[in-house]
Structure 1
Amino acid sequence: MIASMTGYAAISREIPQGSLAVELRSVNNRYLDLQFKLPDELRALETEMRDFLGAGLTRGKIDCRLTYSAYSGNARQQRLNHDLLNNLRGMNDEIKSFFTTAGDLSVAEILRWPGVLDSNQISVEELRAPCMALLQAALQELVFSRKREGEKLQNLLLERVQRMRQLVVELLPNLPAILAGFQERLLASLQAAGLNEKDERIRQEFTLFANRVDVDEELSRLQGHLNEFEHIVLAGGVVGKRLDFLTQELNREANTLASKSVAREVSRIAVEMKVLIEQLREQIQNIE
């Protein structure tokens, strides 16, 4: 099954240290673009999380938000490092014994001294395993979400492919009559201009022009592209770029069909095909 690049997943979980939550948002993008919003205390997990998501996704702009709320008993509680304070006081007194004019350290300076404030903050290593397990569950939900959207896109694509097939089938039996009618009108125009249709040069030009307006080859290529398009969609997987290329080929044939049109019916079918192809192109932009 094909997958859309649009999806959403949000999972939260209670752990002994507090509450964890992961939110993943996915939209279409030409390549894989991973963006993270993590609390400062968990910023060290970004590289591992990036590698994990990169292994499970191929395209799309992914916003990953991880939040952590510690329980009150586990909240960061800062306290003074008395051993270090005693050392600072000793160094302060020793310096003043050499430099009598030296001033005392201010409270702000003491608090900024590295290691003066101790904290019982939970380490990243304690949260690594539950964070990665939660991310794995969120990724699985995101993949399911994208596949559900992909199933809807698959049905839309196949409906439009089927309609284009109907247009080709509708036109093919009428081609001989359309070309014969064109030749009759052209012949009448030649006669009205007083030209002899039996003149060799006129007959050559007549034949060349009739070949230039023959669209049988374009219709055959259209059928081949439609068969390949349907095969790729049904095969599933990462097919967005391949389908985008085929859509360009379909559009090229539809343009040629329109430019060769010598009858209102051919023009109508060419225009409807171009509308259907544009609808395909818009939907394909969101396929992984």
Structure 2
Amino acid sequence: MIRSMTGFGRSSGQLDSCLFTVEMKSVNHRFLDIHLKMPKQLMNMEDKIRKLISKSISRGRIEIYINVEGDFLTSKTIQVDWNLLDQYVSSLQQIQKRFSIEDNLSLQHIISLEGAIHIQEDTISNNTLEKGILELVNTAVKELLVMRKIEGEHLASDLNQKLTLLSQINHQLEELAPTVVENYQDRISKRVSDFISGKIDENRILTEVALFADKADINEEITRIHSHIQQFIDSLTSNEPIGRKMDFLVQELNREANTIGSKANDSQIAKNVVELKSIIEKLKEQVQNIE
């Protein structure tokens, strides 16, 4: 069954005396676009998290939030930039000497010097904790997929209804197609007859009608619409991501409808084309959210 690109997943668990919560939400996107928001101590896990998600999801904008409550396992170290500090002290001493400043350089001054001293928090390297976090992410992914599948079932039902309407209108066009040429022949015969008092050059009429019939022939477009609709229906039962294929089929359906509208010089066909394009536009809106 098809899957929607809209969904939400959540999981939480106690790991190393901390409560970890993973929340994921997804919306439609042309490609797989993953955005992670998590403590910087977990940044070394980013690639593994992305790979885990991409195994199950092929399209959509995925936003992941990983929150931690409690004393998180981190390693903090003080880093001193000695080269920068040497430059600071040397410059300060020169300033004192140049301007005869008596104030002594204190430890408080040194600590406040920008970039000279900073605290570094190292990323985690706990395999057990990392495994637990990945399991929470995987659980959230599964929950998100369940919602995307449910949404996909609703989309499939709606698409089936619209495809049924498309088939009905296309069948009406198929029935109307032969009458376009017949009606044109009647109209042109009547006009010529009115002008020449009943004397009609049948060969001239038939030639004119044949030219019109060639230009106004919509059978090829009708056949292609039938084919596109059938491909659409077949795709609804596919287990593979078919959003891009459906998007292409919608474009083709719209192209055929436009061609019919420009070819057929008939008010009833024009009315059916308007209905056809209206349904295709609704299909397009729905297809935008299919994986």
Partner of 1:239: 242
1:41, 1:124 within 8 Å by CA — same for their partners in 2?
no
Partner of 2:19: 19
Q: TM-score, normalised by structure 1?
A: 0.80
Partner of 1:158: 160
Instruction: Kindly indicate whether residue 266 of structure 2 is the aligned counterpart of residue 263 of structure 1.
Output: yes
Secondary structure of 2:51's counterpart equals helix
- In the aligned structure 2, how far is the partner of 1:239 from the partner of 1:64? 24
2:73, 2:124 within 8 Å by CA — same for their partners in 1?
no
Shift in CA distance, 193/145, structure 1 to aligned 2, threshold 3 Å: same
- In the aligned structure 2, how far is the partner of 1:173 from the partner of 1:67? 62
Cα deviation code 1:162-186 (max 9, x no counterpart) = 1111112234334434432232112
How many matched pairs? 262
Partner of 1:172: 174
- In the aligned structure 2, how far is the partner of 1:175 from the partner of 1:63? 51
- In the aligned structure 1, how far is the partner of 2:190 from the partner of 2:172? 28
Q: TM-score, normalised by structure 2?
A: 0.79
Structure 1: which 5+ runs fail to align?
Answer: 81-101
1:3, 1:237 within 8 Å by CA — same for their partners in 2?
no
Structure 1 residue 225: Cα displacement:
1.3
Shift in CA distance, 197/33, structure 1 to aligned 2, threshold 3 Å: farther
Partner of 1:215: 218
Instruction: Kindly indicate whether residue 133 of structure 2 is the aligned counterpart of residue 137 of structure 1.
Output: no
Structure 1 residue 147: Cα displacement:
1.0
Partner of 1:283: 286
The aligned runs of 1:85-100 (5 Å cut-off) are: none
- In the aligned structure 2, how far is the partner of 1:130 from the partner of 1:279? 44
Partner of 1:94: none
- In the aligned structure 1, how far is the partner of 2:131 from the partner of 2:228? 48
The aligned runs of 1:30-49 (5 Å cut-off) are: 30-49=30-49
Structure 2: which 5+ runs fail to align?
Answer: 79-103
- In the aligned structure 1, how far is the partner of 2:36 from the partner of 2:290? 23
Shift in CA distance, 255/2, structure 1 to aligned 2, threshold 3 Å: same
Partner of 1:59: 59
- In the aligned structure 1, how far is the partner of 2:269 from the partner of 2:64? 50
- In the aligned structure 1, how far is the partner of 2:218 from the partner of 2:111? 86
- In the aligned structure 2, how far is the partner of 1:50 from the partner of 1:41? 16
